[in-house]
Amino acid sequence: MAIIAGLGYGAPSRADDSIVTDQNVDAAIQRAVAWIKSQRNEEGHWQRLDNPKDRDWAGNSGLAVLSLLYADEDPREEFLARSLEWLMLQKLNGTYAYGTRAHALAIVPGGAYKSLLEADLQWLLKAVWPRESEHPGCYNYTPPREGRKKGRWDNSVSQYGVLGVWMAAEAGLKVPDWYWEIVGEHWLSCQNHDGGWGYKENEKSTGSMTAAGLASLFVVLDQRYAARPKEAPGLLSALEAALNWLGREYTPENPGGQSTWKFYYLYGVERAGRASGYKYFRDKDWFREGATFLLDTQKPDGQWRSTGGQMNELRNTTFALMFLCHGRAPLLFNKLQHQADWNNRLRDVAGLTRYVGHTFERLLNWQIVRLEGPIEDLMDAPVLYMYGESTWEFNEVEVQKVREYCQRGGLLFAVAGKDSDKFRRAFEKLAKQAFPEFALRPLPDEHPLFTGEVSFPIDNPPVMLEVNNGVRTLMLFSTRDLAEAWNKYAVRGKGELDFQIGSNVYLYATDKTTIRSRLQTPYIALRETEIERTINLARVKYDGKWDVEPYGWTRLARYMHNETATRLLVTSGVTFDSAAIKDFRAAYITGTESFEFTTDEMKGLRRFLNGGGTLLADAAGGSREFIKALDEQLREILRDEPRVLPPDSFLLTGVGVEDAVDLAGTSYRRAAHSEGAGRKYPRLKTFGSRRRFSVIYTPLDLSASLLGTQVFSLAGYEPESTLRILRNLLLYAELSSAEKAALHRGE
């Protein structure tokens, strides 16, 4: 039942990551939006020499409006509202125009155009060739005449009819089952033996038509057969064959077909890729390769050139814009492909993604990954989702991959299919192997996932287990089969509770923030840099939870390498009562709870500070208990009181410290907004003399924020601000005593 199991997962051929960045893609989108807007005429539409009686009348305007909606342009603002009003008033004549308008009206928030959408839906239902015809389930440019049993059709216009009906269904309108049945039968009947589709039956397979067929069959699967895939074995086989065709043939330029249609083709690829959940067509990263092509071919004014025939600049630019907008949408979950039953709920994450997207009016994707793939693939999404019914096994390499994903800031969320005890025991074993230092424990009823603090209050929640490191949840397990409702898209009645739990997990993992793009990754790639300095830092060990978020230091080291030409060497587990501490100018301490130094550790700390060392510290997770314990012990050791750094301090402004930066505009996380209210700079406190600071610390979190990911209710700084703060502190701590004294004298 696990479709596409044979698709393969070879070594990915990655496009140049330095080209396809969030910044570059966003800039291309904004240029395209500006160009499309500039092409509108004074009457509020994009029709030029077209005749209102033409079959495609208003099609160009429908595409322009649809692409602007994809680009998150506000339909309530005057520009788009005027064009929507014009589009709504037009008498349309053909399938392309009706399908495009229905698509556009369906995604306008609030259902403002529901009555017209219903009328467009009814037109599209009547326009499909009926069951009693020679070719049921397909479309011509215009509806068949009453009583006719055969006539013209093609797969290009057919996909646009299906698109319009699908989006009307997604908007909540009723579509009869017979429609999805005959549409599925059509695409199955004209699929070629190689797995692809041509423009018509028995014609050569092309990229554009194969993407159209694949996307259309996924719509049929979701709308009719997701809860009963055994009723559609031919459909599942057809999907696998089509994905294998794209795995063999994919390029950004319409393989097997005319280059005229390459932008139209890419729009189909985006829909097929998103629907399937596959990041790779075999070893080809379809979005990055397509985006690389589009960024390379966009003209400076924002358009993509005409490719001849019907594919003018406007149409090509709208298709390219929609590919970039939807292809880069953030991911809800990564779904783990592992053992044989991983996909027994075929459309579980697809269904949950639909629900969350509709409920919170967010454009979201999902993705299938495997543990043997690059760790960056796992990090594309805030949640790695596992569904299983059997006893899953993980080898040592896979266990370490799970541990690394969680340590980098990801949340692993597992669901016991059919409430399976076997899968629960397998998860318990995995949790113990991956994190032997942390206990697996039940979530209390007052956990934010249940109380409504995240979003939905959950009455009578299922038993859920978690692994928590004291700052955040690393692993989460539901003993109830939430995925059954997701897969059926049973959003009414008892099933909605399971959708609400899934929504809460996503919002919990993202701290209720809006992630704009899947390209916004916490990963920092090393750049070629000539090293100018080395900083040796000791991470301090004590009897308590000292080793908080160790991966954050790897990420900080990469940042320091790229931005300050500094080699940051971090030695973890150094104690103040060891001889090794004297080898460091800088030490760092953090924790999540109260602690107490031993007598020898206090003596060692005093020697370290008196010898010119600098201690840096934060309260991991914003722990008040830790910072209170640290503060009290430092007062005792130093016989002094801490001072709040004034806003003109060189530590905050960066003045006088080589490669330091001005920390003005420091951003605080959601849970620390009250701490940052009215503050231009971070909240730092110090112990020291007129010649130097011996201790610099913050009562807010830096440790978890170093990961660059979101953490629910974390009292700390935003990731970019965290890197900049520690940049200044480390550069200062590494200075010699004479250099520090000169700074304090204002020299």
3-state secondary structure of 382: coil
Mean pLDDT for 351-379 is 94
Mean pLDDT for 281-300 is 96
396: its two tokens: 């040592």
pLDDT tens sequence across 674-692: 988 889 999 999 999 889 9
Task: Residue count of the chain, please give it.
Answer: 747
Those residues with Cβ within 8 angstroms of residue 563's Cβ, 6 or more apart along the chain or in another chain: 659, 727
pLDDT tens sequence across 473-491: 999 999 999 999 999 999 9
Quote the pLDDT of residue 6. Answer: 40
Q: What secondary structure does DSSP assign to 294-309, as a single string?
A: HHHH--TTS-----BT
Q: Is the dihedral of CA 325, 328, 333, 338 positive or negative?
A: positive
Q: What percent of the chain has pLDDT over 70?
A: 98
Please check whether residue 44 is in contact with residue 315, taking contact to mean a CB–CB distance below 8 angstroms.
no
Those residues with Cβ within 8 angstroms of residue 425's Cβ, 6 or more apart along the chain or in another chain: 391
Q: Measured between alpha carbons, how far is 688 from 730 in angstroms, rounded to an integer?
A: 16
453-456's contacts with Cβ under 8 Å and 24+ in sequence apart are 453/713, 454/504, 454/507, 454/508, 454/512, 454/712, 455/500, 455/503, 455/504, 455/507, 455/512, 456/500, 456/501, 456/503, 456/504
Quote the pLDDT of residue 506. Answer: 98
Q: Kindly state the DSSP code that residue 223 receives in the 8-state scheme.
A: I
Quote the pLDDT of residue 733. Answer: 97
Q: What percent of the chain has pLDDT over 90?
A: 91
Please check whether residue 585 is in contact with residue 734, taking contact to mean a CB–CB distance below 8 angstroms.
yes
- Assess whether pLDDT exceeds 50 at residue 604: yes
Quote the pLDDT of residue 146. Answer: 87
Q: Measured between alpha carbons, how far is 594 from 58 in angstroms, rounded to an integer?
A: 68
pLDDT tier at 516 (50, 70, 90 boundaries)? confident
Please check whether residue 332 is in contact with residue 506, taking contact to mean a CB–CB distance below 8 angstroms.
yes
Q: Is the dihedral of CA 353, 358, 359, 365 positive or negative?
A: positive
Lowest mean pLDDT among 71-80, 517-526, 536-545, 576-585: 517-526
Mean pLDDT for 160-187 is 96
pLDDT tier at 10 (50, 70, 90 boundaries)? very low
Mean pLDDT for 293-297 is 97
Quote the pLDDT of residue 12. Answer: 54
Please check whether residue 693 is in contact with residue 728, taking contact to mean a CB–CB distance below 8 angstroms.
no
Cβ-in-10-Å burial (0-12, 13-18, 19+) of 301 comes to: exposed
Nearest to 675 by CA among 718, 616, 631: 718
Quote the pLDDT of residue 11. Answer: 46
pLDDT tier at 58 (50, 70, 90 boundaries)? very high
164: its two tokens: 């319009």
Q: What secondary structure does DSSP assign to 238-257, as a single string?
A: HHHHHHHHHHHH--SS-TTS
Q: Measured between alpha carbons, how far is 12 from 276 in angstroms, rounded to an integer?
A: 17
Quote the pLDDT of residue 16. Answer: 57
pLDDT tens sequence across 214-243: 999 999 999 999 888 788 889 999 999 999
pLDDT tens sequence across 180-203: 999 999 999 999 999 999 999 999
- Assess whether pLDDT exceeds 50 at residue 638: yes
Please check whether residue 557 is in contact with residue 568, taking contact to mean a CB–CB distance below 8 angstroms.
yes
Mean pLDDT for 1-16 is 46
pLDDT tier at 8 (50, 70, 90 boundaries)? very low
Lowest mean pLDDT among 66-80, 151-165, 515-529: 515-529
Those residues with Cβ within 8 angstroms of residue 384's Cβ, 6 or more apart along the chain or in another chain: 333, 334, 336, 369, 378, 402, 405, 410, 411, 412, 413
> Beta strands 533-540 and 586-589: pairing type?
parallel
pLDDT tens sequence across 241-271: 999 999 999 999 999 999 999 999 999 999 9
351: its two tokens: 């269904």
- Assess whether pLDDT exceeds 50 at residue 2: no
Q: Measured between alpha carbons, how far is 704 from 711 in angstroms, rounded to an integer?
A: 8
- Assess whether pLDDT exceeds 60 at residue 580: yes
Q: Measured between alpha carbons, how far is 694 from 735 in angstroms, rounded to an integer?
A: 12
Please check whether residue 539 is in contact with residue 570, taking contact to mean a CB–CB distance below 8 angstroms.
yes
**Burial state string for 619-644 with b = 16 or more CB within 10 A and e = fewer than 16:** bbbbbeebbebbbebbeebbeeebee
What single-letter amino acid sits at 622?
G
pLDDT tens sequence across 97-139: 999 999 999 999 888 899 999 999 999 999 999 999 999 999 9
Quote the pLDDT of residue 361. Answer: 87
What's this model's pTM, rounded to 2 decimal places?
Answer: 0.94
**Average model confidence (pLDDT) across the chain:** 94
Quote the pLDDT of residue 1. Answer: 37
Mean pLDDT for 575-583 is 96
Residue with tokens 């060891």: 578
pLDDT tens sequence across 301-322: 999 999 999 999 999 999 999 9
pLDDT tens sequence across 18-30: 799 999 999 999 9
3-state secondary structure of 477: strand
Round the CA-based radius of gyration of the chain to a whole number and report it.
29
